[in-house]
Amino acid sequence: MYRLCFDYGHGGRDPGAVYKGRKESDDNLSIGLEVAKALRQYGIEIDETRTSDVTMNLNQRSAFANIKDYDYFISFHRNAFVPEIANGAETYIYTNTTTNSRSLGEKIQMALVKVGFRDRGVKTATFHVLKETKAPAVLIEIGFIDSTKDNKLFDSKRNEIIKGITKAILEQLGIDEVPSNIEESPSTVEGKQTFYRVMAGSFLVKENANKQVENLRKAGFDATILEFHK
């Protein structure tokens, strides 16, 4: 089972960047919680440095992230500069980073660009949460909060942003997207009752399929692996 640590920047007495009454801390939390919710549907364990509007300093965040062995650490942020001057999305990785960090950062950055944000690239930095966390870490800046253009994108493309980041993380973990479950009414064919088997994922790597089966069985579901070719 994969385990991720999500960090929602700022919060409580530290609102982060503020523009026209809009607080970065609120945007970080709201979008991050939705991505976490989406990923948990795939059996991924996600711990969060905060789940409400509380204050956490940087040392508390890195200490939390280092309690367990996480596959990845992802910090959610929004950018700011001079009002209405800069715009776009960018992703940060630590200066002396691992290949995994860069690969995940590039996937998330591409997802944000596809939504419509200007591509400011994947950059290196020595931010505390990148430097002091053990797991491969990325920090994402989902547009500029002091840019009307980026705020409109953040609000109007909210679902696309959530799906894009979710898909990027799943791709990095080697997990195929799970098709939507379809509920149908019971039926019979020639006196026999028909059962509908629900598919819980398709995987190119058998190890990932085994992990998904294990997660489903732990949750009380009957699960098995069926091979198919296309």
CATH value at residue 68: 3.40.630.40
**Which two structure tokens, joined as six digits, stand for 140?**
């994402």
Query: 153 and 199, same structural domain?
Result: no
Q: What is the Cα–Cα distance from 98 to 80, expressed in whole angstroms?
A: 27
Same domain, 185 and 214: yes
Q: Which pLDDT belongs to residue 199?
A: 60
CA 94 vs. chain centroid, Å, equals: 18
Same domain, 107 and 122: yes
Spell out the per-residue pLDDT of the chain, length 230, in tens: 899 999 999 999 999 999 999 999 999 999 999 999 999 999 999 999 999 999 999 999 999 999 999 999 999 999 999 999 999 999 999 998 889 999 999 999 999 999 999 999 999 999 999 999 999 999 999 999 999 999 999 999 999 999 999 999 999 999 987 543 333 334 444 555 554 455 666 666 777 777 776 776 666 566 676 665 54
Distance of CA 157 to the CA centre of its chain: 16
Tokens 């715009």 correspond to 87
pLDDT given for residue 179 in this prediction? 40
Query: Is residue 90 domain-shared with residue 156, that is, in the same domain?
Result: yes
Compute CA 160 distance to the chain's CA centroid, rounded to the nearest angstrom.
12
Strand order in the sheet with 72-79: 45-48, 3-8, 72-79, 137-144, 89-94, 119-125
- Do 58 and 88 reside in the same domain of the chain? yes
Q: What is the pTM of this model?
A: 0.78
Residues designated catalytic:
141
Q: Can you say whether the dihedral through the CA atoms of 117, 81, 36, 183 is positive or negative? A: negative
pLDDT, residue 180, reads 39
110 and 47 in a single domain? The answer is: yes
Residues 58 and 128 in one domain: yes
